[in-house]
């Protein structure tokens, strides 16, 4: 009796396990069946879509072929009008004011961008021109000499002789260094021809410091003042040149004596009509700078 009672729970457990398995298998079969039905529906829908697209493509190709033939007939004069090909008037699109602005900005964005860049650069240049103090005197340094052209000693020496022409309470001389060598390739690389043309054809500067190579650039007799008439008896004057050799120029400027060869001199240009300036403008510059030039000559003649 006891053995039968012990076996009975085990049999009941087996039945529950069997029932659970049956439910699980049934659920799995139903899920697989649903997935199969869904797959079949998708395949059917895909077939219908492919068939519809194929028919639409065939209809389009047929229409295009008919239009091509109709157009051929029109061009060859077989028919005068076509019932197939018709020019439909484009519907006018009305835009609101904000839409018009947006449309304009969109179609012109590159030009507007370039315009903004140009305006920015122009504004910067104008600001720089306004805020940068204009020099009281400009001196052209023509000839290869880095000691004179790239150091501040020459500018500081010349500035003490100029007048406060711009009335800003300061005396300022700018030195425009043009490293002319006479070697065409080297001068071209350094844009020397352009600099010479620009500076010698305007009236901003009349005082020149140069060497014997200046005669290759300008005609001394027609472009420079005869200093022998202004400073008769001055031992350093050689017609149109005030020679710097034999003076304490290098000491006062603060450069090695060997850096300034014996052919270097200072001169002043004659007022005359130029490519970029009238004679009266050059005369104004000459009248302004002649006193400083005279002071320099006197200082170096001591």
Domain boundaries 136-301, corresponding CATH code: 3.40.190
Tokens of 196: 């010479």
Tokens of 71: 């157009």
pTM for the full predicted model: 0.58
| pLDDT in the model for residue 50 | 84
| pLDDT in the model for residue 272 | 95
| pLDDT in the model for residue 264 | 97
| pLDDT in the model for residue 183 | 93
The Cα 74–Cα 71 span in angstroms is: 5
Q: Rounded mean pLDDT of 114-124? A: 77
Query: Above 80 in pLDDT, residue 220?
Result: yes
Q: Rounded mean pLDDT of 7-11? A: 48
| pLDDT in the model for residue 157 | 95
For residue 11, the Cα-to-chain-centroid distance in whole angstroms is 94
Q: Which residue has the higher pLDDT, 176 or 97?
A: 176
Work out the pLDDT band at 171, boundaries 50, 70, 90: confident
What digits encode the pLDDT tens for the residues 226-255? 999 999 999 999 999 999 999 999 999 999
Q: Rounded mean pLDDT of 267-280? A: 94
Q: Which residue has the higher pLDDT, 25 or 155?
A: 155
Work out the pLDDT band at 1, boundaries 50, 70, 90: very low
The Cα 302–Cα 252 span in angstroms is: 12
Q: Rounded mean pLDDT of 268-276? A: 94
Q: How many CB atoms lie within 10 A of CB 205?
A: 22
Q: What is the mean pLDDT of the chain?
A: 82
Task: For the chain, give percent helix, strand, coil, nearest 5.
Answer: 60, 10, 30
Q: Where are the domains of the chain?
A: 31-85, 94-132, 136-301
Work out the pLDDT band at 89, boundaries 50, 70, 90: low
Q: How many residues does the chain have?
A: 302
Q: Rounded mean pLDDT of 204-227? A: 95
| pLDDT in the model for residue 2 | 43
- % the chain with pLDDT above 70: 80
SS3 142: strand
CA dihedral 128, 132, 136, 138 (to 10 degrees): -50
Q: What does the DSSP 8-state code read for residue 216?
A: G
| pLDDT in the model for residue 159 | 93
Least confidently predicted of 53-67, 179-193, 243-257: 53-67
| pLDDT in the model for residue 199 | 94
Q: Rounded mean pLDDT of 205-231? A: 95
Q: Rounded mean pLDDT of 263-292? A: 95
| pLDDT in the model for residue 82 | 57
- % the chain with pLDDT above 90: 50
Work out the pLDDT band at 4, boundaries 50, 70, 90: very low
Work out the pLDDT band at 294, boundaries 50, 70, 90: very high
| pLDDT in the model for residue 107 | 72
């Amino acid at each position: 009796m006891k053995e039968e009672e012990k076996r009975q729970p085990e049999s009941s457990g087996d039945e529950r396990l069997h029932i659970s398995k049956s439910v699980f298998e049934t659920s799995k079969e139903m899920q697989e069946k649903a997935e199969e039905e869904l797959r079949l529906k998708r395949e059917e829908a895909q077939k219908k879509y492919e068939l519809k697209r194929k028919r639409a493509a065939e209809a389009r190709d047929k229409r295009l072929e008919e239009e091509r033939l109709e157009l051929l007939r029109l061009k060859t004069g077989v028919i005068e009008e076509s019932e197939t090909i018709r020019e439909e008037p484009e519907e006018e699109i009305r835009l609101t004011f904000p839409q018009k602005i947006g449309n304009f900005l969109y179609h012109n964005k590159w030009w507007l961008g370039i315009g903004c860049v140009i305006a920015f650069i122009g504004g910067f240049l104008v600001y720089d021109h306004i805020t940068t103090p204009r020099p009281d005197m400009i001196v052209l340094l023509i000839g290869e000499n880095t000691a004179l052209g790239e150091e501040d000693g020459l500018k500081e020496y010349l500035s003490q002789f100029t007048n406060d022409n711009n009335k800003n309470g300061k005396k300022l001389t700018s030195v425009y260094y043009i490293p002319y060598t006479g070697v065409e390739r080297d001068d071209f690389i350094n844009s020397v021809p352009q600099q010479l043309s620009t500076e010698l054809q305007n009236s901003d500067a009349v005082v020149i410091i140069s060497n014997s190579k200046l005669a290759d650039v300008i005609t001394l007799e027609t472009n420079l003042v005869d200093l022998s008439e202004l400073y008769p008896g001055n031992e350093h004057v050689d017609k149109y040149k005030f020679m710097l050799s034999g003076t304490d120029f290098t000491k006062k400027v603060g450069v090695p004596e060997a850096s300034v060869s014996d052919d270097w001199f200072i001169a002043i240009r004659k007022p005359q009509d130029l490519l970029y300036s009238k004679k009266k403008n050059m005369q104004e510059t000459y009248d302004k700078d002649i006193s400083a030039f005279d002071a320099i000559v006197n200082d170096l003649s001591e």
